[in-house]
Structure 1
Amino acid sequence: MKMVKKFKKFAVVAVMSLCAFGFATSQAIAGPPDHAGGPSRGQVKANETEDVKWVPPGLQKKEKSSKGIPPGLQKKGGLPPGLQGRDNLPPGIQKRFGDVLEREDEEKEVISHVVVKGDEFIVIPNEDEVIVKYEAFLLDEEGTKVEITPEWSLEEEKEGVYLDEEGTLEITNSAEEGTFKLVATYSREEDRETKEYKGTLEVELYHQEISYIEIDGKKFVGIDEDEEGRVNLEYVARVMDQNDKAIEGEVVSWEVKSEDIEDLFALSTAKESRVVVIFSQEEGEFTVTAKVGEEEITLQVVVYNPVATDLEVSGAKEIVLPSEDEKTTEEYEARLLDQYGEKIETEDITWFLTDKDGKEIETSYLEIEEGKLTVTDEVSLDYVFIWAAFNDEIYTTFKVDFSQEQEEEEEE
């Protein structure tokens, strides 16, 4: 790869792996070492997460020994004081711990039961009615969800509350505040007898009261002072009640202020809970305040020139190697981030691969181009490192494991 020759004078990067289909990040203005464009011993600092399986010699941390703890107790909080580190427990004590673990397993035994799902908080309407649909399913001993058709009922009748045989609830404006229970009953034949399962859900009826306000909109705004024209930003207020439900129809008062952005103004209407803030390409800060009655919220907004500081790569962390004479491809995304963690749009990302020794991989059976990784059946590696680079200044790596396709066991 041609661009690797440029890496000779650069230093090292950091390796991070995050979440199951997640991210790998690094923060460094540096590049791979002389020998191959990849990490060498002692030159990659891996974050201390369980996802990073490979760490260069010298950076590996030894796991604490669980010597002296019988199997099954290591994850139970260890041994009582005075017994830690002993190779063998006395028979009586070992039996006592075994009995405790056995009782814990019995307590965790799952019994088949009906689960009712649906809205637990319903606003009493001022007029007309509110319709809410509920569903129920059976959760068996193995935790498997079983579809059922239950019989629906109310534990106690309540004024203005009606429930039909399909689990549809109707609330009229004559209903009063308070709680009631929905009941779903399911019966089936088991061992020549009818067994009945019941599930309940408590529902609260209430009138809404303003509890707090939320503002949706950008807190960090990257600009380009060399560009002409104005920036237009929209902010939306949501008025929330005591049960975290939005209150419709509330009139929001807006106030936008700035001490250092002179060319700034806002547009809003009394009927809409939104405001549009307009300003020129100028760095600074401003505040957006939304107020309803005695409740209000203020959002601090920073306007700045973005500077590239970090890279994140996301994509599949494990790939099953293809069958003979076949190949597979996976798409990876590199996100360039600025000093506030906001994404910078760019097409200047360079991709390449290295093995565990930091040697660049340049083959036809394993290659990456513009984020698309191609893997053929000729790959014999256990894993590979994907590298993404921005302007030969910011680098990040992402480890991808390879696994063999499990062959189906032949029926005897």
Structure 2
Amino acid sequence: MKKEISICWLRRDLRIADNAALYHALKGNYPVLLLFIFDKNILSKLPNKDDARVTFIYDTLLQLQSNLSQFNSTIQIKYGTPEQAWNEILDTYTVKEVYTNHDYEPYARKRDEAVAQQLTIKGILFKTFKDQVIFERNEICKADGKPYTVFTPYFRQWRQKLQPFYSKAYPIKKYIDHLLPIQTEKNPTLQDLGFERSPQIFPVKSFETKLQAYERNRDCPAQDATTHIGLHLRFGTISIRKATRQALRQGAEKWLSELAWRDFYMMILWHFPHTAHQSFKPAYDNIQWINNEADFESWCKGNTGYPLVDAGMRQLNKTGYMHNRVRMVVASFLTKHLLIDWRWGEAYFAEKLLDYDQASNVGGWQWACGCGNDAAPYFRVFNPELQAKKFDPKNEYINYWVPELKQQKHVLPIVEHAFARERVLSVFKTALAK
């Protein structure tokens, strides 16, 4: 007779320490096997066969397997659709309970509903837990029970409600011997997944030394004063609770508010899932975009003739990262100077960013465009040259990424700022009057 077990299904929580679902699974009634599924539905949509995020996930899983070997356990790695993978698992084991952490994206919600149904038919309990945010869904609401759509009052309540309890780590070590003793089976290779190894260098997990000067220097791209842990928060190689504890310990209130923005956008996407592909403010879907493909190509490659915009795009293309201040400038430029649909830019960032997170990315793009909740007003049009003078006054960041500027060989601007500003104000005003 097959042994009765529980499964802990990892997704955006690629760690053993301080993992809510794993903690609850280990405290349950059955030995626990960890599972990760390389989801064919997601991988098949990735255009680049050396997508760095696939390499990052793959290597992280192998490292976790190595760590688990000291407990004579492993992570079962599957490749296929979730339905196929679960059928294989259920054929192999007598599964009594499945534990996993909440995911808030529209696709993930549909996937989890389907898997829950698949398991429930077989009498298997499907239990999910909060793990990747401090506060979720309806935990921070207005007095009438409706979700906040403006960040400042949301953050006020978020900060007031934040007690040590919310950032406390789950004591996994106490129950680690409840893992299922099992040897590592043959893992699929990157090639089996249809991918090649990426040469990308990934940011380290340590961020503590960056917090003290974060508020003072965070807007200056040349200073590299941000933590670069977006990738680790995205895939859960760092616990959000650990990040929050560290911010509180160091009194890094500005950085703490950035973690709250992350919660805020996940809450928005949960309550308003249509915003993944439509404007939060419906009137903005009336905008008559120009969507010039040659202009879009120039923006993608960092050849717009605006040094700060081009530096940001080249940094993104080379490293999978872009400084946050520069993200705002390039997003504003695409939507307002070039009148290209924010969804084009959002999709390009989705392809390139190592730390791509749908909720934050959609939120950021709609903010820059003016069509989101609590967005910058549509008539606020960043001047890329003034932004460069203010935040990169010595051209250190720009000269690194656009070296031809010093030889005066940089391309001419593809659109003149004053003209673009007048045009976007007219187009947006017309759309919003409908």
Scaled by the length of structure 1, the TM-score of the pair is: 0.18
Q: Give the greater-gyration-radius structure (CA).
A: 1
- In terms of fraction of residues, the more strand-rich structure is 1
Q: Comparing both structures, which one devotes a greater share of its residues to helix? A: 2
Ranked by relative contact order (alpha carbons within 8 Å, sequence separation 6 or more), the top structure is 2
TM-score, normalised to structure 2, is 0.17
